[in-house]
Amino acid sequence: MTENSMPAPLVKMRGITKRFGGVTALSNVDLDAYAGEVLAIVGDNGAGKSTLIKILTGVYQPTEGDIFLDGEKVDFSSHADAITRGIDAVYQTLALADHLDPPANMFLGNELTRSVLGVTILDNKRMRSETERVLMERLGVTLKSLDAPTESLSGGQRQAVAIARAVYHEGLRVLVMDEPTAALGPQETARTLKLIQTLKDQGLAVILISHSLDDVFEVSDRVHVQRRGQCVGTVRTADSNTQEVLGLIVGAEEAA
Ligand SMILES: Nc1ncnc2c1ncn2[C@@H]1O[C@H](COP(=O)(O)OP(=O)(O)O)[C@@H](O)[C@H]1O
Ligand SMILES: [Mg+2]
């Protein structure tokens, strides 16, 4: 594809700088993410990966720089703002209420209700069927149980619930995943990578933060490398290799 026939990026971050008091976490970072693409973000601890995506998801506000969504400048003053515009995240910690069952987690804070003789009550039946439907239709996942506390599910299934909650929002266009496989065994990791592929095929822009270059090379289309708060390179996964990406992560002078 020539430069001109490339679709426009769905997300453009430009000149993003973030300072926490005297600490510069990010310095003049640009990032593009495309619909139907998995963009990996890699870098050592402290390189600014989490801060960058927290800015994209409205958790932090940049000290300097702009975010464009479909070419339109956006300003998120909260994570809820970003969700409204179709950008959500699934964190390693998952933020699930472990003692509640999967449908309760799916609809936490957004419970479906129905009216019986003028009284509003929870529509547990519909929350259950919607949970089942989203898991199956969007993620191809069937849970062991919809009635048991979420803590009784495997790590991979818990993650599916967290992802289902994000994709239930019809307008979701960008899904950020921060270290989704860090706590998973090999089998569950493979399932999660398949899930990421499924979401990409549905046209989402998936942004994957990962320490595992194996995962990154298996599932991503492009890799954005952060080092000491700066983007030190973006490569096409198909044109690159672990060695090159490691060199960027560590820095040429250290690698030499
Ligand atoms: N809330 C914060 N307050 C102060 N410093 C922070 C805060 N969050 C991150 N930092 C600093 O910003 C830098 C980047 O951190 P982070 O984005 O978490 O990196 P990564 O996710 O790549 O490990 C680090 O030096 C970290 O200590
Ligand atoms: Mg981090």
Domain limits, the chain: 1-86+173-256, 95-171
50 Cβ closer than 6 Å to some ligand 1 atom: yes
Span of 26-40, 87-101, 158-172 with lowest mean pLDDT: 87-101
Q: Which DSSP symbol is given to 7?
A: P
Residues, Cβ < 5 Å to ion ligand 2: 49-50
The overall average pLDDT reported for the chain is: 91
Closest-CA residue, ligand 1 atom 26, reads 46
SS in 3 state form for 77-145?
A: CCHHHHHHCCEEEECCCCCCCCCCCHHHHHCCCCCCEEEECCEEEECHHHHHHHHHHHHHHHHCCCCCC
Q: How far is the CA of 90 from the centre of ligand 1 (A)?
A: 18
User: Does 51 sit in the ligand 1 pocket, CB within 6 Å?
Assistant: yes
Q: What integer pLDDT is reported at residue 92 of this predicted model?
A: 67
Local confidence band at 169 (pLDDT 50, 70, 90 cut-offs): confident
The CA-based angle 117-122-123, given to 5 degrees, is 90
Most informative mutation of 17, 20, 42 for ligand 1 (most atoms within 8 A of CB): 20
**Helix H or strand E segment including 57:** none
What is the residue with the minimal CA distance to atom 13 of ligand 1?
25
For residue 18, give the ligand 1 atom closest to its CA.
12
Could you tell me if residue 171 is left (phi over 0), alpha (psi between -120 and 50 degrees) or otherwise beta?
Answer: alpha
- The class of domain 1-86+173-256 in CATH terms is alpha beta
Q: How far are the Cα atoms of 9, 10, 32, 35, 149 from residue 6, in angstroms, in the given order?
A: 9, 12, 12, 12, 46
Ligand 2 center–CA 125 separation, angstroms: 38
| Burial class of residue 153 (count of CB atoms within 10 Å of its CB; 0-12, 13-18, 19+) | buried
pLDDT single digits (tens) 104-146: 989 988 899 999 999 999 999 999 999 999 999 989 898 888 8
The minimum-distance atom of ligand 1 relative to the CA of 54 is: 17
pLDDT at site 235: 97
> Which ligand lies nearest the alpha carbon of 63?
1
Q: Provide CB contacts within 8 A for 134, sequence distance 6+.
A: 106, 164, 167, 168
> Does ligand 1 lie within 6 Å of residue 22's CB atom?
no
Average pLDDT over residues 32-45: 97
pLDDT for the residue numbered 183: 80
CA distance 192 to 73: 32
